[in-house]
Structure 1
Amino acid sequence: MSDLDPVARTARLTAALRARESERPDRLFTDVLAGTLAGQAARALAEQLGEVPAIAVRTRFFDDLLTEIANAEGGPRQFVLLAAGMDTRAQRLPFPAATTLYEVDRPELLRLKDALLAGVPEPACRRVAVSADLAGDWPRSLVQAGFRADLPTCWLVEGLTQYLQEANVIRLFDRITACSAPGSHLLAEFVAASLFRDPAARPMLDALAEQGAAWHYGTDEPQPLFAERGWQVQSVPYAEVGQAMGRWPQNGVTAGGHLAHATR
């Protein structure tokens, strides 16, 4: 995984965790491409980590929402995955053919992904890779790729906010809102602020920092981020969703937080 920077390498680790979930007899989803996108190094690291229930839970939670939104009558026909990483939803989910799915991430990561997917059949929807640094002017890159801010959009912010400073999280949500026409959806995930104060979580957080992929942001109340920008939001704790799926342990360190679905 040395071809990517530490934060980008987490995309391959996440793919490895999806691959492992896909091998379970009681799997929450099936991702046949995840192993290829992960590679052997990431898969070995995933085995060392043991159970990471949050990845399987959030993947299934957002799979279900994206499928529902994409197939709703009059729903958005453009979707944007920010920090898309090694996401495979363009291939996995039943998006209508008229849907355009924009995957925004760093150019080196998208190049690697395209190389790994060489020979894989094109998805039914239109997948557009958008090379951009989310710390830069990514809305301009998105527009240049064909995105239209005057049309409803469904955004997905998954596995991203914890790596940002609070000011950059606020800036991200300001930019998303500025690009969102009425009828848009915003799906987002947040780790809990309380996790940073939990002594049991300290080894995990220290290990991430040592690898150059430190977590900076968490919140126990994500609702104001949406309400202050005119979004109507429903937020549910990870634990509640995970327990309903049979994936949330009663003991041990878990990346608790919230999963949110907002509309405007």
Structure 2
Amino acid sequence: METRPDSVADTGLLVAAIRARESVRDDRLFTDPFADKLAAEAGHRMLDAALATSGERTTLQIVVRTRFWDDALLDAASSCRQVVLVAAGMDARAYRLTWPAGTSVFELDQPPVIAAKNAVLADDVPQCARAPIGMDLADNWPKALRSAGFDATTPTAWLIEGLLQYLDEDAVHRLVERIDALSVPGSVLCYDVVGKSLLAAPFMAGLLKSMADNGAPWLFGTDDPAELVRPYGWSATVTDIAEPGNQWGRWYAPVTPNESETARGYFVVATKRRA
């Protein structure tokens, strides 16, 4: 089944709804004051359906990864004044994070997604120089990025959040290759990957069937996530999602040894080595 771009884009509304619900918890890991209006009725409806089908467990990954990438991006921004959010969706980090002075945040996504977010946030002020770019990742987005003011000679922090599982393996490698070509030494690439074991986990069956039925199947997973950037000379630190999830008291299982056969998801922070 071919993945429908509109179906993948709809997941951005679901993610926004999860972030909105997290933001009103007493023990919240982050506060996103824009998430509720970005999710709109459609996103909250999707979340209610997901909770009814699969329970809260399948939403925790989004909650933990949001906090993890918030921290990682602000850390990377201390040395990278350019940030590129790949398939940004209904992400509001340009508005809600306290960016260092002089930071530019480029948001890449399909034109209807960018247009919808621009409309919802029209009266809000970003905390950085925000450059929204409506462009399908199958097209020449590097050219559009440069036209929007991106400087390929300066270190860049990249984030690929919640995307790679929707791409086939060839598309994943093409995306990483393009990012590498635009990155000078000192650049940072952040991405999350689901493990093949997670794709086979029984508790994920309901969610995966729902995604496939809606035209957005999960296609890619790996239990060696560093291999995506290793051939290009990036040094990668891989974190099992269970580690910060347990640290913050928001995970459903203890951290298990790497050699064990268990469902996993991974966060990767990779730095391009200097010559």
For the aligned pair, the TM-score class normalised by the smaller chain equals over 0.9
Q: Is the 8 A contact 2:159 2:190 kept in 1?
A: yes
TM-score relative to the length of structure 1: 0.93
Which residue of structure 2 lines up, in the alignment, with residue 45 of structure 1? Answer: 46
Out of 46, 58, 73, the residue aligned to residue 65 of structure 2 is 58
Query: In 1, distance between residues paired with 2:128 and 2:162?
Result: 23
Out of 109, 116, 127, the residue aligned to residue 112 of structure 1 is 116
Q: Structure 2 stretches of 5 or more lacking a match?
A: 255-261
Query: In 1, distance between residues paired with 2:135 and 2:39?
Result: 21
Worse-superposed segment, 127-136 or 41-50: 41-50
Query: In 2, distance between residues paired with 1:91 and 1:37?
Result: 12
Which residue of structure 2 lines up, in the alignment, with residue 18 of structure 1? Answer: 19
Q: Displacement of 1:255 after TM fit? A: 7.7
Over the aligned positions, Cα root-mean-square deviation in angstroms equals 1.6
- How do 1:105-254 and structure 2 match up within 5 A? 105-120=109-124, 122-250=125-253
The number of residue pairs the alignment matches comes to: 255
Q: 1:222 and 1:116, CA in 2 relative to 1: closer, same or farther beyond 3 A?
A: same
Name the SS of the counterpart of 2:190 in structure 1: strand
Out of 97, 102, 116, the residue aligned to residue 106 of structure 2 is 102
Name the SS of the counterpart of 1:228 in structure 2: helix
Name the SS of the counterpart of 2:245 in structure 1: helix
Q: Structure 1 stretches of 5 or more lacking a match?
A: none
Cα deviation, 1:29-66, whole Å, max 9, x if unaligned, reads 00000000000121122133232100110000010111
Name the SS of the counterpart of 1:250 in structure 2: coil
1:29 maps onto 2:30 in alignment: yes
Query: In 1, distance between residues paired with 2:19 and 2:264?
Result: 18
TM-score relative to the length of structure 2: 0.89
Query: In 1, distance between residues paired with 2:238 and 2:141?
Result: 26
Cα deviation, 1:172-230, whole Å, max 9, x if unaligned, reads 10010000011100000001111222333222211100011111001111111111110
